[in-house]
Every structure is written in C-alpha cells, then in structure tokens.
Structure 1
Amino acid sequence: MKTLADVDIPDVLHLVTSLLRNGIGPVSALVGWNEWRKGFFSLPLTVNVAPLPGQSFPADSGWHLIVSSGSYPADVFILPDRATGPGMTFPHQGAVSAGTGKDPWLFGEPCLTDPTAILGDSYGAAPEPVDLSSRLIWKVERFSRWCELAAAGCLHRPGDHFEFPPLSGVSDHVTIGFYETEADLARWTQASTKSGVVRLVSVSSAGKAFAAQCWRTLEDKLIHAPDWGALIGSPSVGEIPAIWFLLDDIPIIGAWQLPRTYRELGDILAAAGIDLAENFAILGQSMRKRNISQPAVIMFGFPVPRYFGAAPSRVHWLAISDVRLTRKNSARQGFRPTEENRQRFDRELALSGKLLAWAKCENWAPDQIRTRLRIAPTAQPKVLLLGAGALGGHVAETLTRMGVSRIDVRDGDVLAAGNLCRHSLDLGMVGVKKASALAARLNRIQPDAQARGIDKSFPMMGYDGLETADDYEVILDCTAENKLLRGLSMIPWKSEKLFISLSVNWGAQGLMFWSSRGSAFPAIDATTRLEALARRFRPEKLEERIEGIGCWHPVFPADAADIQVWAGMGARFVLNQIAGAPEACGIYFFNEDRTIGLEHG
C-alpha cells in the first residue's frame, strides 16, 4: 500500500477528492488516497455528527471510501474503520464484523445503492449515475445523509416496512422455515409457556433446509402443529435437537445489532429471565441420554409488526445453528469424564465469547411464501386431477406453484422412458406409477402442498356401481379421452362440481378447454363440441409415429415447449374458473407466426 500525492491520483477520483476536503455534509477526507494494488484505491473518511440524546451513533467516526476498478462497472464501497469506526450495526447496514483479513476496515457497508429504499426517493435521491466520477459523489452524498439519520435515530420511520437486523456469522447456507400466520399471534402471546423443544425436519436433499414441524413444551406436550403439507407434516425418523424461547421483543444490542457471541446472547436472555447456561446444561444432558451427537439449534420467537410503529401482527423466529454441546464420549484434559463435568462445559459455552452461527429463517406460511405471484388464489378447493400425462403433470405443477395446495392425482399408467421428452417427471421415476410419482413431486414443490396419488383409473366399477368423488369441488380432466367424459356423466354426483377438461390437439398445436358447473356432467354436449374443434384445427402433414421396435403403436407427436405453453394457459384457465369465470368451451391455437389465437366452440 502506498499513499498517493495529488498528481498521482487518477483523474476520475479528483472531483470527489476536492469536494470531500471541504466536506460533503458531515463527511470529509483530510488525507490522501491509498493504492493497494493496481486499480484498487481507498480514501480514509471522517464523519462528525451531533447525535441526539439516547442515540448510539458516535459523534466522531472513521470510514473508508473504497474503489476497485478491476471489473466493469467499478465497485464502490464505504466501510467502517477497524479502529475508529462504529463497532455496531445500524439500520440499513450490513452486519458489522471483523472478518479474517488484515485490512484497516471492517465489513458492514451501509445500504446506499437502492434508490427505492429508505434513503431513496423519499429523500429526493436520483438514480445512481453511470460514470464513476458522478457515482462516487452520489454515493458519498447518500452516505452523508445516512450518517445524519443514524445520529438522529431516524433510519427507521413509522410506516416503513418492518425489516430484520442482518445476520452476522451466518451458518453455511442453512435455512429454517416456519409457519406463522396473523391468526397464530394470539396463541403465542397468551401462552404461559415461554420455552420448549421444536421438531425440525429436513426438506432438502443436501441437508441445508429444515422446517419447524411442531412446537412442544420441555415436557413434550404439543403446543402448536402448523398446517403443513404432506412432506413436512409426515412423520420423520430424523431428529435435530432444538430448543425455543419466546421473547417479548427482537433480541438486539444497541441500535440494530444481533448478538454476535454466546455471552452477548446470554446477557439479552438474562434480561428476559432466561438462563442460557442452565438451558444448555439441560439440553446437553438430554442429547447425551439419547446418544445424539450432532450440533443443536436454538430458536427465538418474538412478535413483529408489518410496519414500524404499528401493532404486532405475527410471530417471527430467528435461529442459531451449529451449537456444539458436549457429546457423550467427550473428554477434556484435566477433568474426569463425568456427566457433572459435561454439564459444566455446556454452561461454559453459554458464557463464552465464541461467535454465533445465525441461520437464515423464513416464514413459509402461504401468504408469505407466495408474495411473488401476481395474484394468489383466495379459494382452496380440493381438486381431483384425472390423467397424469405430460399435460396433466405440467398443469398440476403450475397450479401447485400458484397456490392450489390440495390435488389428488388419478392415473393407472406407468412412466416410460419415452414420456421423459415432455413430462415433468424425471429418469428416476421410470417404471413408477405416474399418479404416485407426480403426487410426490407436487408435495416437494410447496410447503403446504397436500397431493395424493391414486394409481388407478377413474371411475372404477364396484359392487354398488360407479365410484363417486363427492369430496372434491373441482374435477379436472387431462386424459384427452372421451370415454372418461362419458364416465363422468354416468356418476350420480350428490353436490355441484366444477368440471374442467383440458386437452391438446394433434401435434400440440392448440389447447382445447371445457368448463361447466352442476351436479351432472353434460358429456354429449362436451364431446360433440370438443370433437368439432379437434377436427377443425387438426394440423396437416403431421404423421403418426411408431416408438421403437415391436407391436405397431402410434405415439402422439408434440414438443415439450408447446406442452408447457399450453399447460401454462390451461392452469390459468383453471384458476380463472375457480375464481368464478363464466363456463366456456373453445381452443387456444398457434397462428402461423406462433402468436396465440382463441376461438370459442
């Protein structure tokens, strides 16, 4: 590292340098740039503010403006000084930590780059410029405003969306999902039990994602079992030792710093009447009795609002993973290998300065996990999907991703290798019944998915006649078989159903659709109109094909890309019908230029 004289400073840095010598708000730079290597520069900054009483932002602090032009566009950072910068995290800032390097700065960059965030349009900030010289000035100006707001305690304003402190010492990409709705808040806030054990189940083949299946007291009494889907709600032989504590508020130090060490965590819990050391001793003893040697997890729940300044709306959870309590066969030099000493070691961990490994926690309740959808379905009918072929599989997958959580699949066919060119299932399912395989896939798509596979055709003939399916609100046919439609008309339905039929025409050049409501299915009307559409829109020059050597059997020519287009259109049609759209019959079809046309039949 060398300090540059003014004549050696790159031209692109001159303008911000001269401005900082006079000060940009409370931010100034009275010394020169340092060059660490080619294209990597840093400029020490000084911030002088007058904090309001009760605010923890320092009156004088050191920072570094860092420019790395080794990539395009150049990276620009502002980081706290290792010795004189604020050693704690503030709102709209990355977690402050020392890292492993020997640089004179810490991690913990203020969040300055998003013009739509708190420091953006509400404070009159323009979008980030393109050229580096202007970017540097723009970023320092926003940093100056951030420091002023931090000193005034105004980085969070009433009405801003509530956010959580950044996680320090994040565990190795471990995610824990929980299920908390606004209706669950009262259960927690009115409960007399404030601690217990939580059952965590793995939902990832890589062992990186877990879900809080249920919450129990220390005496193993069930407190809360969320409405999970089939995958998370099913019994699991795996066991991850985990304890939970319910707090009155988010556990922070100072303005917005999560505890970084076990000692800091213990101090916060002690203020809430919780003895972390004693809980570690109890948990460690329980794990050793059950011969569990893997690291434990601690979860902390607390009520949070939707907006700063508002009343709490639901409980949120944070978690610390990789809690390494004393194992059954652990020994320490100078100490006898007794249970008393092992509990002593567990208590010592709770009082130590060892860094915490925070895990990423997410609320997987339906209204939280589907916020990326344009419109999430409000109704949750139970759907019977008839036909788990290429179209049915993709339609079911799309519906599940869009929030239709209860789908039962009926199909007696087995997945063949030839199906893979356009089916949603994969090679690992070849030889498996399509219905069971597809249901298992659907249950892996969403945390609340409750799909079930029934490996037989519908309807089946029993001693009492054709079976019925009156526990379903929606009957969705994707078999493309008129025989199935005629079978639906023979069933004496006891309640009104929404009947939907989706099928692609020859070569998948169009999607035919039908919907009707009632306690009887009008098979003659449906088959007559759909067959007429199939004839009118049958593509020319698409020949039948034979698959492999053997008994001649024509297969259906269609590309996976076209099937997925029509599956998306079909899923949207289903959702519209569930939402109350008028009954319809027609076909979506490809025009010559591959745009999509529509004709009603």
Structure 2
Amino acid sequence: MPDVPENLLAGRRAIDGLLGVELLEDWEWFNEKSFWVLKCSLTIDSEHPYVPSKTIWFITVDPIYPEGNIEFYPSKIGGLATTFQHQNNNRDGFPDLPWRTGNICLHSQFHHIGQFCITDEPLDDPHMRIKWRFERALAWLMAAARDELVKSGDPFELPHIPLSPRLDKSVLFIEDPVSFESWSKIAVRMGFVEFVTLNQQPSVVFPTSFKSMAGETLFRPNWGNGITENGSRGFQGLWLLLERPPILPVWHIPNNWNELKTVLNDQGASITECIKPLKQQLKREPALFLIGFPIMDRIGDELSQIHWTAIELPTSATKDKTKRIKANYVGHYDKAYMKEDGEVPWLKTENCHYSRVSVRGKLHKEVVENEVLLIGLGAIGSLIAEQLARAGHSKIALMDQDIVAAGNIVRHTLGLESVTKKKSQAIHDKLLLISPHLDVDIIEEVFPPKNEKNIKAVKRYPIIIDCTADRELRYQLGAFPWDQNKLFITIALGFKAKRLYFFSVIDESFPVETFNNLIQPWLEKEKPEYIDDGFPREGIGCWHPIFPARVDDIWMLASAAIKQLEQTILSPLEAPQLIVFEQVVESGNFVGIQKLLNE
C-alpha cells in the first residue's frame, strides 16, 4: 500500500473528537478503484424504523485530496439498508466491495454547476474539507431520522433509478400541467403505446400515441414534425398509470422483480396481467413497458405532471432450451424471465417538454412563438436557423435551392455528409435533430415562388428574414404581393465579417430604395478594404471570387444578430432601421463588438 498522503492524515486528524464520529479503520488504498477509503461509524439519536442510532460507513476519497470527490457509502453490514431522498439507489452492488451503492448527497447546492460558483464547502483546505463532509453526513442522518430530508417548498425529487448497464435505450417524453389535465380526464389506466425511433439514433425512443387495450387513441404527445413525420421504425409497448410513485420505504425504487411486483400489487396492478397482451410480441423481441405516476413541482404543491419510467421486458426468443416456455402460458414467462431476485432492466427516461429543457437558456416566449420564413442558408443563414432552433423556436420555413459544396463546410453549420444535398433539406434535417418541438417546412422554390401553394405558404409568415446578401432578391421582396404588413429583416455580413448589417422594417413590401440609401455609405466605406486586399478564388478555371470571412468572426456576429432579432421582435419599429455591429480592434488586438445605429 502506498504511503498515506499528508493531506489525508490532516483531514483524518480534523475529525478526531467530532461528536458522533468513531474511526473504525484508518486510510486504506483500494487499488481497483484508485481511491482511499476510511471506515467510520456515525451515531445520532434516532427512533426511525429505517435509521439505526449507529450506522457504519465507508468514505471514499480521491488521491488528489483536498480536490476530487468525497463520497459516503453505507456498509453492507451495519449500514443503512434502504434508500432515502438525496441518496443514490441503495442496493448491494458489487459482491467484492464491503459497501452498498447508496452514497448520500452531501454536496453544496451549486456543486454540479462547476468551479466558478460560490460554495461554502472548504474545497482547498485539507484540514477542514473532510470534517465539513462528516458534519453534513451527521446532519443528513438526523434529518432522515426525523423524516425531514425534504421540506415543504423544496423541489420535488424523483427516486434514483439504477439504469441497466446492458441497455443503451433512452425514452424521451413530453408532459406538463396541460397534459396532466388531459390525463386526469382519462379513466383508462393501462393500454398500448406506440413508439418511434430516429434513423440517426435508433436507441432514442419517443412515445407517439397512448391507446386503450381496445385500440382507441387516448392521448397523443405534441411532438414537432421531426418526430411525427420523420421517426423511423414504429413498434408497440405497454403503458400503466399509477396513482403514486412505485416506491418502497423510504424512497426506494424497486431493484428486482419481486420488489416491483410488490409495489404494483399495492396499487392494484399485476405485472403478470399487464404483459398478457404482449405475449406474441415477446416471443420475437423485447418490449417496452412505461410506468407513469403523477408528481408535483415542489413539495406540498398540488400534483401537476405525469412522469414516466420505463422497463425493457425481455424476449422469450432464445436458443437456450432451458429457458423455452409455453407460448400460451404467461406464468411460464413470469417464472423464466422475471425471477424474484432478477434485476429490473430500467431504462433512462427524460421529460423533454419545452418548459423543462429550456431552463438552460431560451429566447423570450413572444419570439419563439412567432413563425419565421428564412431565405438564404449560407454561413450566416444556417447559423441563424440553428440558434433559433436551439433557443426554442417553434416554427421555421426554409428557402434555399443551392447545393452544399465542400467549400461551404469551412464556415457552415453543416458537415461533409451534407455535400451534394440541397441546403434547405440538409438544414431541415439538422434542425429536426436539435429540437423535438420544432416544426420545420421547406418551400421548394427560389424566391419569388411561382407555385400557388408556395405563394400562399410564403404569405402566411409574419416575419421574413433575408440572409442571402443578394441585391436581386431584395428587389423581388419589394415586388412580391404580400397583402399585409410584415416584419422584414435583412442580415448580411460586411467584408471579411468585420461588420454585420441588420436592417428591419414593418411594411407591406420591402423598401428597397430606403435600404439601399442606408447601406450605401457603409459599402463605400468598405470598398477600399476589398480593393486593397482583393478576393480569393476557389478552384481552377473561370475566376469566381469567394467572399472572405473566418468562421469565428461569422459565428460571433451571428450571435449578435440573434440578440438584435429578439429585441426587434419584442419592440419592433415601423420605421426602417439599420444597425451595424462592428468589430473593434485596437493595436492589432480584438477588444469586442460595438453597435452602431443608422436610421
């Protein structure tokens, strides 16, 4: 065993004399896990049936202490035997380890955000950090003994689910208070569910229709057209909606089939009866079983949302004669494939409703709910499209019949897999993989459209964004019979992407002359720059100049354009306005972007 580092010895000395803590075994190096382990007992006053007064713990510490992880695991002998809130699922785990898997949450509230945040944990102090964790562990135990690990007003916490290491499927669903109201009106509590997967990622599964056992459609999740129209192979599974979470005391999700059968029986459901309708499917392939239950947003609130967990029911198709079962007798399946101590194959599930995923960052609601027609999907147009999609936009139509060339990839959002595809189709496919809530349409014409259907489609969009930098197209925008006011926005890059031009106006047609008058002084200002530097050419043969601009400059200015786009939609001005974002360079060093107004 290597010598115990001085920092760990200092940490251990700091807990000497700490009330309620007894050292049972000093630091030991676990070579298989590459960390140090300390064995201790923690003693509190407790009359709780699942919290003994004295419990034994193994504390694991990274060798880079005081940095790194510190975890508290209950001992298999004399430790906590069930799972509580703020604790990982507390099962036996690996047979060669003396501790269970249920490490308790002792982190600072902001631990998962990263190092650049305020925390009261003494992360750099080898004398105090372990002591701080021990004090937190004692406080955790006392709260568990008083059933006070969660209090009124705390965010609701789902029980920790141990995912099956053999399965890589994830089930994405969308639920919110509105869908909860829909479910509350449905008397049926069990039925079939239809799933689709994505061609690009078949391990990601989406439920698209919940049905009764008789085949009646009861509920359809409101996915975007990327899921409803472009999902690949469809297949069927089962759903079961419970009245409360399927847990054992205190907050323990079932680990084996016997535990699962117990919690379902307690709520009047039998898993054996549930799987009967799938017996023919299970002869050929596994089946997904969704188990849902209502949850609240915060402790003490009214129930407001359905959460779905998922299990993969194993197939009975096997060459192993010892596991073959009678096709018409579900009880044999139960005995062969759902043995009492057999591990429940839980899958990862995630609610990707917009209100959930957008908490990481989103545009204003009024912005994302506006439908947009985006013309031009070059470097700047593709970035505008992608940022709108990632920020939660709900409806985008694309117009660009150009073909993706290899040279485009240098500063485009697309990759080599898109070369030879139409830009509109390639961007369409990419956007649908970004957001399951987004509806993306393609208008298969060059502007202005000639087809009557496309003319009507173009006219329905209240916001028209031109990213082509095409003089002729602007004249076409001005001549097109829009029939009503539109918010017109033109986004274009200056030479070498030193500037970005953002023009906006509310009008019944695009005011070409006004735009030209506003932009012309800036073009005159840039003229000496491109005369001096010249334009590069791509390839050999007839000379065709290529617009020079680095990818970092384009992407930076595109982000500025999105911010201005949000501001323009929220506070539109009817009068024409040209805003210029200009890179500021001092003594050869980039220092930022300045915003210039030219009305």
Q: Same fold (TM over 0.5)?
A: yes
| Mapped pair 1:166 → 2:163 | no
- TM superposition shift of 1:151: 0.4
Structure 1 counterpart of 2:383: 394
Amino acid at match of 1:311: E
Out of 464, 476, 479, the position equivalent to 1:490 is 479
The 5-angstrom pairing of residues 228-267 of structure 1 reads 228-234=223-229, 236-267=231-262
Tell me what 1:501 maps to.
490
Q: Secondary structure of the residue that 1:106 maps to in structure 2? A: coil
Give the whole-Å Cα distance in 1 for the aligned partners of 2:569 and 2:193.
Answer: 37
Shift of 1:105: 1.2
How far off its partner does 1:313 sit?
Answer: 1.7
Is contact 1:477-1:500 (8 Å) kept? yes
- Counterpart of 1:588 in structure 2: which amino acid? F
Aligned position for 2:71: 77
Shift of 1:169: 3.8
Q: Deviations over 1:84-110 (max 9, x none)?
A: 111211111122122224121112211
What SS does the corresponding residue of 1:340 show, helix, strand or coil?
coil
Q: 1:34 to 1:72 in 2, by over 3 A?
A: closer
State yes or no: 1:114 paired with 2:104: no
> For structure 1, which runs of at least 5 residues remain unmatched after alignment?
3-7, 119-124
Q: How far did 1:451 drift?
A: 1.1
Counterpart of 2:116 in structure 1 is none
Aligned to 1:133: 127
**Does the CA-based 8 Å contact 1:198-1:213 persist in structure 2?**
yes
The 1:573–1:10 alpha-carbon spacing in structure 2 relative to 1, beyond 3 Å, is closer
Instruction: State whether residues 93 and 100 of structure 2, in contact with CA within 8 Å, keep that contact through their aligned partners in structure 1.
Output: yes
Shift of 1:154: 0.3
Q: Structure 1 pair 111/376, CA: closer, same or farther in 2 (3 Å)?
A: farther
- Inter-partner Cα distance in structure 2 for 1:117 and 1:148: 22
Offset of residue 18 of structure 1: 5.9
SS at match of 1:355: coil
1:216 to 2:211 alignment:
yes
Partner of 1:311: 302
1:510 aligns with 2:492: no
Q: CA offset at residue 600 of structure 1?
A: 2.1
1:459 equivalent to 2:453? Answer: no
Q: In the TM superposition, what is the alpha-carbon distance from 1:455 to its structure 2 partner? A: 3.4
Question: Which residue does 1:362 correspond to in 2?
Answer: 350
Question: For 1:28, which of 21, 26, 32 is the aligned residue?
Answer: 21
Of the three residues 567, 572, 578, the one matched with 2:563 is: 572
Number of positions where the alignment pairs a residue of Structure 1 with one of Structure 2: 581
1:469, distance to aligned residue in structure 2 (A): 2.2
Q: What residue in structure 2 maps to residue 5 of structure 1?
A: none
Structure 1 segment 151-550 matched on structure 2, within 5 A: 151-171=145-165, 172-203=167-198, 205-234=200-229, 236-288=231-283, 292-293=284-285, 295-321=286-312, 323-327=313-317, 332-333=321-322, 338-341=326-329, 344-346=332-334, 349-350=337-338, 352-373=340-361, 375-379=363-367, 380-461=369-450, 469-538=458-527, 539-540=529-530, 541-550=532-541
SS at match of 1:148: helix
The one-letter code of the counterpart of 1:433 is K
Q: In the alignment, does 2:44 pair up with 1:49?
A: yes
Deviation track 1:306-353 (CA, whole Å, cap 9, x = no partner) reads 1011111211111123x21322x6664497x64224652246534522
**Which runs of structure 2 are paired with 1:142-157 in the superposition (5 Å)?**
142-157=136-151
> Residues 506, 452 of structure 1: CA spacing in aligned structure 2 closer, same or farther, 3 A cutoff?
same
**Pairing 1:585-596 to 2, within 5 Å after superposition:** 585-593=578-586, 594=590, 595-596=592-593
TM-score normalized with structure 1 length: 0.89
Q: Deviations over 1:228-260 (max 9, x none)?
A: 112211264513442111111111110111011
Contact persistence 2:380–2:467 (CA under 8 A): yes
Secondary structure at 2:459 match in 1: coil
Cα-to-partner distance string for 1:103-155 (whole Å, 9 max, x where unaligned): 2111221111224589xxxxxx9323412221111110110100000000000
- Structure 1 residues 467 and 459, CA, compared in 2 at 3 Å: closer, same or farther? farther
Distance 1:464 1:64 in 2: 69
Structure 1 residues 188 and 271 mapped into 2: Cα distance closer, same or farther (>3 Å)?
same
Q: Give the stretch that moved more between structures: 572-581 or 68-77.
A: 68-77
SS in 1 for 2:585: coil
* Alpha-carbon distance in 2 for matches of 1:408, 1:592: 37
Query: Does the Cα contact within 8 Å between 1:89 and 1:256 map onto a contact in 2?
Result: yes
CA distance in 2, matches of 1:108, 1:285: 38
Quote the Cα distance in structure 2 between the aligned partners of 1:255 and 1:465: 59
* Contact 1:413–1:455 (8 Å) recurs in 2: no
Structure 1 residues 435, 37: closer, same or farther in 2, change over 3 A? closer
Tell me, in whole angstroms, the C-alpha distance in 2 between the residues paired with 1:95 and 1:554: 62
Q: Which amino acid aligns with 1:134?
A: M
Q: 1:137 to 1:503 in 2, by over 3 A?
A: same
Structure 2 CA distance for aligned equivalents of residues 550 and 531 of structure 1: 32
Percent identity between the two aligned chains = 26
Between the aligned partners of 1:334 and 1:113, the Cα distance in structure 2 is 46
Deviation at 1:175, TM superposition (A): 2.2
Query: Could you tell me which amino acid in structure 2 is paired with residue 356 of structure 1?
Result: V
Larger mean CA deviation between 61-70 and 247-256 belongs to: 61-70
CA deviations 1:251-272 (Å, max 9, x no partner) are 1110111011111111111121
| Aligned with residue 597 of structure 1, among 573, 589, 594 | 594
Deviates more, 1:183-192 or 1:580-589: 580-589
Alpha-carbon shift at residue 562 of structure 1 (Å): 1.2
Contact 1:530 1:586 in 2 (8 A): no
Does residue 91 of structure 1 match 2:85?
Answer: yes
- Distance apart, 1:499 and its partner CA: 0.8
Calculate the TM-score normalised by the size of structure 2.
Answer: 0.90
Residue 122 (structure 1) aligns with: none
Alpha-carbon distance in 2 for matches of 1:83, 1:419? 63
Instruction: Name which of structure 1's ranges 42-51 and 503-512 shifts more when overlaid on structure 2.
Output: 42-51
Alignment check: 8 A CA contact 2:25 2:40 kept: no
| CA gap 1:185/1:467 in 2 versus in 1, 3 angstroms | closer
CA distance in 2, matches of 1:217, 1:368: 28
Higher mean Cα deviation, 70-79 or 522-531? 70-79
Deviation per CA, 1:137-179: give whole Å up to 9, x if none: 1110110100000000000000011111111244445321101
Counterpart CA distance in 2 for 1:333 and 1:314 is 44
Mapped partners of 2:520, 2:16: distance in 1: 81
Name stretches of at least 5 consecutive residues in structure 2 with no aligned partner: 113-118
Read off the aligned partner of 2:306 and give its amino acid letter.
V
Q: Tell me if the contact between 2:198 and 2:232 (Cα under 8 Å) persists in the aligned partners.
A: no
Residues 356 and 591 of structure 1, relative CA distance in 2, 3 Å threshold: same
Question: 8 Å contact 1:511–1:587 — kept in the other structure?
Answer: yes
Query: Considering only aligned residues, what root-mean-square deviation do their CA atoms show, in Å?
Result: 2.9
Distance verdict in 2 for CA 1:334–1:145, change over 3 Å:
closer
